Structure 1
Amino acid sequence: MLIAQISDPHIRPAGQLYQGVADSNRMFEEAIDHLHALDRRPDLVLLTGDLVDEGHPDEYAQARRLLAKLEIPHLVIPGNHDSRENFRAAFADHAYLPAEGALHYCIDDHPVRIVALDSCIPGLHHGGIDARGLEWLQRTLEAERTKPTLLMLHHPPFTSGIPYMDAYRYMDTAPLETIVRDAPNIELVLCGHVHRTMLRRWAGTVVCACPSSTTEIALQLAEDAAPASYMGRPGCMLHLWSEAHGMVSHVSHIGAMEGPFPFA
């Protein structure tokens, strides 16, 4: 099974730029075209949050117009720039999304089980999951302890070392870590939020953060570093699972590059 992951497109109303700089709508269209043009088409696309920039209904209307071009089944979760209720209304036809409360769900229709967590706290930018959500997760993971499973949430449950991102991280990770560590079949934890590829061994599995399809947050590790971003090469992730070899993940850069050349 080939699973694509796109994160943090920050879609804006038609004709508006993200942060006045990036044409995030066009870049999201290019990300969709990129997936369609891969030599092996993904079986599923996961969108790991910050689908839009300000959570407004007109942004979600634009997101749905763009997603209508995607020919691959896809699943969505919100990020801190999304509005939970506007998100729910915009994707009312996605029957897997709960009708009320946090947008946690489980999809068990594929060779890899997908468990999705809504790590957003309405009105705030940092992440967390309340006791009710953690109880749901524990029950869901305990119900199936052998099938390969991907866990996805917007906020990575670790400190990145980039100070202006860590101010908005998933804050209290210990309860979540306890539950995840007890589940032996979690292949990967997939996140967005940080607009960079990051990997960390955590809770007996691996956390993989996806780059943005729009801008790249600057890699600055000084404690007093000021927030900064670049128009770096956008990207997505491809997670390839097979029964024989397990899960392997690749960064797939979006956009034209020189080549290919006849060597490897």
Structure 2
Amino acid sequence: MLLAQISDLHIQREGAHSALIQAETHLLRCIETLNRLRPRPDLLAITGDLTESGRKEEYLILKPMLQKLKMPFLLIPGNHDSRENLRETFREHAYLQGDAPFIQYAIDTWPLRIVALDTTVPMRSHGELCSARLAWLARTLAQQPERPTVVLMHHPPFATGIRLMDELGLLEGREAFADIIAPYGNIERILCGHLHRTIVCRVGNTVASTCPGTAHQIALDLGAPDDLYFNFEPPGYQLHSQGAHGLVTHHAVIGDFPGPYAF
């Protein structure tokens, strides 16, 4: 199975940075790139911050763009999203409609089992995993403890070293999450967004990673800056390929670059 991942689309009609951050243009270029891939991904996971403000009109801009994809896709919310507007706009995505008030689900129809976990807090930038969400995760993982599984979540369950983003990270439930997944050797990857960069960390007996954004990237600063900055490093996506030795992850950038050239 070939699973693609994109994140942090931040589609908006207008806003403080809307003239600078051309989120729609960048997303369309990303979709064109994914559609051209050979082999084409079997499935695309979009790990949150689909819109900038969670407004209905933003989802109505996003939906026809995603309908250009030549592969099925799964959605999870990020801290910039509205669960209600996401559910209403993508009503045909039945998996979004259960486990209210949270958007979390398990899908068993692919060679990789997909377990999606809701880390969002309404009207806040940080994430949390309350007792209800952690209990759901524990029950869900216990249902198929041997099957290769990927966990989707917006906020990464580890400190990244980008201090100001870590202050908006998964602030509640991180240790309990690690305890729940620790006994499971079948979790191939924990796929996250939120950081707008590729970052990899071991969590329990598996690997957690973040995916770059399609709209813009968070500047890499491991010091102690007073403010967050973004830049326009090439937007990227990730490909997670299931093979004989487990899941292999490739980071790729979106854009036009010289090559390829024969060696």
TM class by smaller structure = over 0.9
Root-mean-square deviation over aligned CA pairs:
1.3
**Residue 131 (structure 2) pairs with residue 128 (structure 1):** no
CA deviation string 1:90-126 (max 9, x = no partner): 1111011134210010000010000000100111110
What residue number does 2:189 align with? 188
Query: Amino acid of the residue matched to residue 259 of structure 1?
Result: G
Work out the CA distance in 2 between the residues paired with 1:36 and 1:16: 29
> Number of residues paired by the alignment?
261
**SS of residue matched to 1:86:** helix
Q: Which structure 1 residue ranges, 5 or more long, are not aligned? A: none
**Residue 225 (structure 2) pairs with residue 224 (structure 1):** yes
**Residue 149 (structure 2) pairs with residue 149 (structure 1):** yes
What is the CA distance between 1:18 and its match in structure 2?
Answer: 4.6
Whether the 8 Å contact between 1:12 and 1:18 is mirrored in structure 2 is no
Cα distance change, pair 17–91 in 1 and its aligned pair in 2 (3 A): farther
What residue number does 2:260 align with? 260
Cα distance change, pair 24–17 in 1 and its aligned pair in 2 (3 A): farther
**SS of residue matched to 1:51:** coil
Whether the 8 Å contact between 1:78 and 1:154 is mirrored in structure 2 is yes
Whether the 8 Å contact between 1:10 and 1:18 is mirrored in structure 2 is no
**SS of residue matched to 1:97:** helix
Whether the 8 Å contact between 1:127 and 1:155 is mirrored in structure 2 is yes
What residue number does 1:5 align with? 5
What is the CA distance between 1:23 and its match in structure 2?
Answer: 0.8
**Residue 235 (structure 2) pairs with residue 234 (structure 1):** yes
Whether the 8 Å contact between 2:149 and 2:189 is mirrored in structure 1 is yes
Q: Identical aligned pairs, as a percentage?
A: 41
What is the CA distance between 1:214 and its match in structure 2?
Answer: 1.4
What residue number does 1:116 align with? 116
Work out the CA distance in 2 between the residues paired with 1:119 and 1:175: 13
CA deviation string 1:188-247 (max 9, x = no partner): 0000000000000111110010000111100111123421111110000000002x2211
Work out the CA distance in 2 between the residues paired with 1:257 and 1:134: 43
| TM-score w.r.t. length of structure 1 | 0.96
Work out the CA distance in 1 between the residues paired with 2:222 and 2:208: 20
Work out the CA distance in 1 between the residues paired with 2:216 and 2:18: 10
Moved over 3 A (4+): 15-20
Cα distance change, pair 18–113 in 1 and its aligned pair in 2 (3 A): farther
Work out the CA distance in 1 between the residues paired with 2:221 and 2:200: 16
| TM-score w.r.t. length of structure 2 | 0.96
What residue number does 2:250 align with? 250
Q: What pairs with 1:1-264 in structure 2 (closer than 5 Å)?
A: 1-13=1-13, 18-99=17-98, 100-172=100-172, 173-242=174-243, 244-263=244-263
